[in-house]
């Protein structure tokens, strides 16, 4: 904690009084000792016409998986503070699915090494389902042990909503443990409506970040839930939901959920604030969602510009674009003019990887072994900016007795390789990646993080997958004459390197996939990472096979 004392002047944004006025803030030993209005100054009525120093509480990402940034917490913080983020509500279930309790402890301890306010949850669904192979499991006893830790602020997203509805014993024990400790429970129930939604919420589930229509969100708001508007690298629900902030300012929060490193370098919650103001939402309602609501809902130890609070605040050029000039946490200047003062820390990786390199013949798909419906093959349709997929029935392309990719129709082979032990490779077909050559692969594959790959031919698929295996985790892309790989040695999810360098490498690979391989997706790797996410309908592929998310069973 900073021991220096200082004072700072600027246009103070008082979210609670809905006023902006010139004031001096006095900070002593990292806390706000006094806020003194400067006599003779007027209230700022039209902030859109005024550009100056605006002092406001720091931003909070109300639901994020740090692991999806491909950065360890310390490196995530280093970049996030440049955009005015002072804290996160972080679900570590990605690393928990790989490394269990050890993974959660890793995130907590790594986060403590820097001046940033990480607030971790106890993962509620590890593994997310029994229809995939994960590296670990957390039962209700272990979840309770985590919830008893002061660093654990909540029970993180309850993806097993059928378990809630049917009162699964383990699920109910986890919920009861959170209730007994007075810690909130995050939800995850895409598309759940009506009586089923009410029953889910009545169990004590307090938030949902998975709404993809305004009607669904209104349904859940009507039953008392809070809605977290998500805008990440893949899932983008801002446009569908932002109008809700006009009428429900006390019950809306902002989050990224999953943010790849290139996106994080460009901006964070400040971008959502700018977009909301541009939509005509009152600036105080915007800042309530971005700053106040997460602190109050999760009972976070983050200051809100009140006397006696920790000095966690930011200075912005304006309240339109939200360009951040300075970020203070516990009274310490951690970022200024886009430069972060958080330093890279050494990190010892933890991991789980027991996977031999594969050969081309393991990727072949026999016509006789693949499910057919009405003479056609079921195909996963990936959707831009969404985690949900559609199930299509399309014509098959055959070479001899084998099903193969077809670049003309954009029906490409997708495979999932078990990274935890030797097992047959799961295979399916997918549409909308639009690769014209080569393949891409990743060990970032929610929620169990096996290796997922898409490609135009088996040789390219094998090459991309083996690059990931050699690195014991990573993202890769191959063409007929080039190869790219970004190693992610921490659980196959995160790099130990400098965040900006990781972002630069990832940006180069992403550009290669679009410019040379031909993908038309805005975020091909982020989209790929959700194609094995069984808890989001409609059709997905796990390491055990093609999965119907509506029937919750394998095809």
Of 304, 321, 352, the residue at which a domain comes to its end is 304
Per the CB < 8 A criterion, the answer to whether 153 and 178 are in contact is no
266 HSE (CA, 13 A, CB side): 11
376 & 293 share domain:
no
Structure tokens at 121: 């949850």
The pLDDT of residue 351 is above 70: yes
Q: Any residues with CB less than 8 A from the CB of 351 and at least 6 apart, and which? A: 98, 99, 472, 473, 489, 490, 491, 492
**Which pLDDT value is given to residue 1?**
40
Please give the average per-residue pLDDT across 504-517, as a whole number.
97
Under DSSP, the state recorded for 254 is E
Q: Tell me what percent of the chain is helix, strand and coil, each rounded to the nearest 5.
A: 30, 30, 40
Q: Is 222 inside a domain boundary?
A: yes
If DSSP states are collapsed to H, E and C, what string results for 473-528?
CEEEEECCCCEEEEECCECCCEECCCHHHHHHHHHHHHHHHHHCCCCCCCCHHHHH
pLDDT band at 2 (very low <50, low <70, confident <90, very high): very low
Same domain for 432 and 519, yes or no, is: yes
Structural domain includes residue 419: yes
Could you report the per-residue pLDDT of 105-160, keeping only the tens digit for each? 999 999 999 999 999 999 999 998 889 999 999 999 999 999 999 999 999 999 98
Q: How far apart are CA 146 and CA 104, in angstroms?
A: 9
Specify the residue for token string 């509500």: 89
Give a yes or no: residue 53 inside a domain.
no
Q: What is the mean pLDDT of residues 24-37?
A: 96
* 393-413 residue pLDDT tens: 999 999 999 999 999 999 999
Give the 3-state secondary structure of 1-17: CCCCCEEEEEEEEECCC
Residue 374, domain extent: 360-554
Q: What is the CATH number of the domain that holds 181?
A: 3.20.20.140
Query: Quick check: is 36 in a domain?
Result: no
Report the SS3 class of residue 65: coil
Q: Is the pLDDT of residue 218 over 90?
A: yes
How many helices (DSSP H) and strands (DSSP E) are in the chain? 16, 30
Q: Are residues 278 and 417 in the same domain?
A: no
Are both 299 and 373 inside the same structural domain? no
Same domain, 366 and 441: yes
Q: Is residue 49 part of a domain?
A: no
What is the pLDDT, as a whole number, of residue 406? 97
Task: Count Cβ atoms below 10 Å from residue 424 Cβ, excluding itself.
Answer: 11
Lowest mean pLDDT among 187-191, 217-221, 358-362, 450-454: 187-191
Of the given ranges (37-46, 337-346, 489-498, 539-548), which has the lowest mean pLDDT?
37-46
Our count of domains for the chain comes to 2
Residues 282 and 383 in one domain: no
**Mean pLDDT estimate for the chain:** 95
Residues 542 and 463 in one domain: yes
Residues 234 and 369 in one domain: no
Q: Which of 304, 320, 337 is the last residue of a domain?
A: 304
Per-residue confidence (pLDDT) for residue 374, from 0 to 100? 83
Nearest in space to 448 (alpha carbons), one of 533, 388, 523: 533
**pLDDT given at position 234:** 74
**Confidence tier at 95 by pLDDT (50, 70, 90):** very high
Where among 304, 335, 352 does a domain terminate?
304
Question: Are both 385 and 259 inside the same structural domain?
Answer: no
* 3-state DSSP assignment of residue 24: strand
Q: How remote is the C-alpha of 145 from its chain's centroid?
A: 24
pLDDT at 369 (0 to 100): 86
- Same structural domain for residues 269 and 400? no
Exposed, middle or buried, 491 (CB in 10 Å: 0-12/13-18/19+)?
buried
Note whether residue 321 is domain-resident: no
Mark whether 237 and 171 lie in a shared domain: yes
Q: Looking at the structure, do residues 141 and 290 belong to the same domain, yes or no?
A: yes
Structure confidence at residue 75 (pLDDT): 98
Instruction: With a cut of 50, say whether residue 552 has pLDDT above it.
Output: yes
The yes-or-no verdict on residue 3 having pLDDT over 60 is: no
Alpha carbon distance 42, 529 (integer Å): 51
Of 61-65, 246-250, 324-328, 527-531, the one with minimum mean pLDDT is 527-531
Mean of pLDDT values over 213-237 = 93
Q: CB of 421 within 8 A of CB of 438?
A: no
- Do the domain assignments include residue 274? yes
Tokens encoding 21? 């006025």
For the segment 357-373, what is each residue's pLDDT rounded down to a tens digit?
999 999 999 998 888 88
Specify if 2 maps to a domain: no
The answer to whether residues 360 and 56 touch, using CB atoms and an 8 Å cutoff, is: no
Largest CA distance in the chain: 85
Tokens of 405: 């990719």
């Amino acid at each position: 904690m900073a021991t220096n004392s200082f004072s700072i002047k600027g246009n103070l944004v008082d979210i609670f009084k809905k006023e902006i006025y010139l004031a001096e803030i006095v900070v002593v030993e990292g806390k706000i000792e006094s806020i003194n209005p400067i006599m003779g100054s007027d209230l700022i009525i039209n902030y859109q016409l005024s550009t100056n120093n605006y002092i406001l509480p720091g931003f909070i990402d109300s639901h994020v998986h740090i692991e999806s940034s491909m950065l360890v917490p310390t490196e995530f913080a280093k970049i996030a503070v440049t955009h005015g983020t002072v804290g996160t509500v972080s679900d570590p279930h990605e690393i928990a699915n790989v490394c269990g309790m050890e993974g959660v402890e890793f995130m907590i301890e790594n986060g403590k090494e820097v001046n940033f306010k990480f607030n971790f949850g106890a993962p509620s669904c590890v593994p997310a389902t029994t229809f995939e192979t994960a590296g670990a499991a957390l039962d209700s006893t272990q979840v309770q042990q985590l919830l008893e830790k002061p660093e654990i602020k909540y029970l993180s997203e309850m993806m097993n909503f059928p378990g809630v509805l049917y009162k699964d014993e383990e699920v109910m024990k986890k919920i009861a443990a959170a209730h007994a400790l007075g810690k909130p429970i995050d939800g995850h129930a895409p598309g759940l409506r009506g009586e089923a939604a009410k029953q889910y919420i009545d169990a004590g589930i307090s938030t949902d970040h998975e709404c993809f229509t305004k009607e669904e969100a209104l349904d859940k708001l009507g039953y008392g839930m809070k809605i977290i508007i998500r805008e990440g690298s893949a899932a983008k629900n801002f446009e569908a939901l932002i109008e809700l902030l006009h009428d429900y300012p006390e019950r809306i929060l902002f989050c990224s959920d999953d943010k790849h490193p290139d996106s994080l370098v460009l901006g964070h919650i400040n971008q959502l604030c700018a977009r909301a103001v541009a939509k005509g939402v009152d600036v105080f309602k915007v800042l309530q969602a971005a700053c106040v609501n997460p602190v109050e809902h999760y009972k976070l130890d983050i200051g809100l510009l009140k006397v006696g609070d920790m000095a966690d605040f930011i200075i912005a050029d304006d309240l339109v674009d939200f360009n951040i000039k300075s970020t203070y946490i516990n009274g310490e200047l951690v970022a200024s003019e886009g430069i972060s003062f958080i330093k890279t820390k050494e990190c010892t990786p933890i991991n789980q990887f027991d996977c031999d390199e594969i050969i081309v013949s393991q990727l072949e798909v026999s016509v006789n072994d693949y499910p057919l419906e009405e003479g056609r093959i079921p195909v996963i349709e990936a959707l831009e900016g969404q985690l949900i997929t559609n199930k299509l029935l399309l014509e098959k392309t055959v070479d001899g007795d084998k099903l193969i990719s077809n670049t003309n129709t954009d029906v490409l082979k997708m495979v999932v390789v078990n990274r935890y032990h030797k097992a047959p490779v799961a295979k399916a077909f997918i549409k909308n990646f639009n690769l014209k050559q080569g393949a891409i692969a990743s060990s970032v594959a929610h929620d169990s993080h096996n290796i997922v790959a898409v490609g135009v031919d088996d040789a390219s698929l094998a090459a991309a997958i083996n690059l990931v295996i050699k690195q014991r985790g990573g993202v890769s892309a191959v063409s007929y004459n080039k190869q790219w790989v970004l190693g992610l040695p921490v659980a196959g999810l995160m790099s130990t390197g400098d965040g900006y360098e990781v972002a630069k490498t990832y940006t180069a690979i992403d550009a290669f996939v679009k410019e040379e391989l031909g993908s038309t997706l805005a975020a091909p790797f982020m989209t790929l990472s959700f194609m094995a996410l069984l808890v989001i309908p409609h059709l997905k592929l796990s390491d055990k096979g093609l999965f119907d998310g509506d029937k919750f069973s394998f095809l």
